[in-house]
Amino acid sequence: MQKKKPRILVTNDDGIHSPGIAALAEALREVGEVWIIAPDRERSAVSHSFTMNHPIRVHNLDERTFIMDGTPADCVMFGTRGFLENPPDLVASGINRGPNLGMDTVYSGTVAAAHEGHLHGLPAFAISMNVPAQGEAYRFDGAAKFAKILAQAIFSRHMPDGTFLNVNVPNLPWEQLRGVAVTRLGQRIYRDKIIKRMDPQGKEYYWIGGDSPTWVKAEGTDFHALEENKISVTPLGQDFTQFHAITELDRWDLSLDEK
Ligand code: MN
């Protein structure tokens, strides 16, 4: 008897028109039945927000492709909470234009979509491309090929408990990739500034911008893997609790008795 094809929900935060989501969907069609629910426009850096103050419109592009005026987390919620007749067996988010390394993962809509899948008890991964060198374009083929390998591994090995995966891929031809490193999140050094400008009416407005971030150089991190032209796979989890701090905080004088 032929085994039932797994159902894979694909989304992103760059929006349905990004070539990254098309490359991811195409690669994963070799592993399972792909359903796409994606934002109808770019929603990068919306993190894990979901829509609660306006109704959400969904448009059907084809039998298994839907776009909506919602966030990446909304898309996954739709995919797992009854909009689709059958829930997916895997959530895949990307392929993002630009890396999601270190604390980028807090701001990232790409990572939040995988996180949302994980919150619904599903295996999930986010996949992002490093920025191309100057004068080069994004090449999604390597990341797409690796997404297929990873999805196959997830279905055959099962995801470790409490874990979803954050993947970053160097923007290189497949032959130049130096392998895969399982990593921890590194530390970004953001150099954002609030930039003040004037509009034609003489009123102030602002951009959050400034210089590109750098990172703390440390072996074993996602940043370091990319520097070595390796694909980085970081296991992430939901629990932000700092267990070592529980005992210390217990010793603080936080009694409700009046002093
Ligand atoms: Mn993005």
Q: In the chain, what are the domains?
A: 7-188+215-250 (3.40.1210.10)
| CA 168 / ligand 1 centre spacing (Å) | 13
Peptide bond into 149 cis (omega under 30): no
The pLDDT of residue 93 is: 98
| CA 152 / ligand 1 centre spacing (Å) | 25
Largest distance between two CA atoms of the chain:
73
Residue 99: partners with Cβ closer than 8 Å, 6 or more residues away: 128, 129, 130, 131, 168, 226
| CA 32 / ligand 1 centre spacing (Å) | 24
| CA 110 / ligand 1 centre spacing (Å) | 6
Cα–Cα dist 59/100, whole Å: 29
pLDDT score of 258 more than 90? no
pLDDT score of 1 more than 60? no
Q: How confident is the model at residue 191 (pLDDT cuts 50, 70, 90)?
A: confident
Residue 191 DSSP one-character state: E
| CA 6 / ligand 1 centre spacing (Å) | 26
| CA 252 / ligand 1 centre spacing (Å) | 41
Share of the chain above pLDDT 90, in %: 89
Nearest to 128 by CA among 93, 174, 178: 93
Cα–Cα dist 237/124, whole Å: 11
Share of the chain above pLDDT 70, in %: 99
Cα–Cα dist 108/4, whole Å: 33
Question: If you average pLDDT over residues 147-162, what whole number do you get?
Answer: 97
The pLDDT of residue 245 is: 97
Residue-wise pLDDT tens digits, 92-113: 999 999 999 999 999 999 999 9
For residue 9, report the phi and psi dihedrals to the nearest 5 degrees: -95, 125
Q: Would you say 92 and 28 are in contact if contact means Cβ atoms under 8 Å apart?
A: yes
| CA 244 / ligand 1 centre spacing (Å) | 34
For 63-67, 167-171, 255-259, which range has the lowest pLDDT when averaged over its residues?
255-259
First to last CA, the chain: 73
Backbone φ/ψ region at 32: left (φ over 0), alpha (ψ -120 to 50), beta = beta
The pLDDT of residue 153 is: 98
In the numeric block, the tokens 């891929």 are attached to 169
pLDDT score of 213 more than 90? no
Any bridge partners for residue 221, and if so which?
A: 184
pTM: 0.94
The pLDDT of residue 3 is: 73
Give the pairing of strands 58-62 and 65-68: antiparallel
Long-range Cβ contact pairs of 76-83 (< 8 A, separation 24 or more): 76/9, 76/11, 76/37, 76/113, 76/116, 76/117, 76/120, 77/50, 77/116, 77/120, 78/37, 79/9, 79/11, 79/35, 79/37, 80/9, 80/116, 80/117, 80/120, 80/122, 81/120, 83/37, 83/58
The pLDDT of residue 214 is: 87
Q: How confident is the model at residue 2 (pLDDT cuts 50, 70, 90)?
A: low
Query: How high is the mean pLDDT of the chain?
Result: 95
The pLDDT of residue 192 is: 87
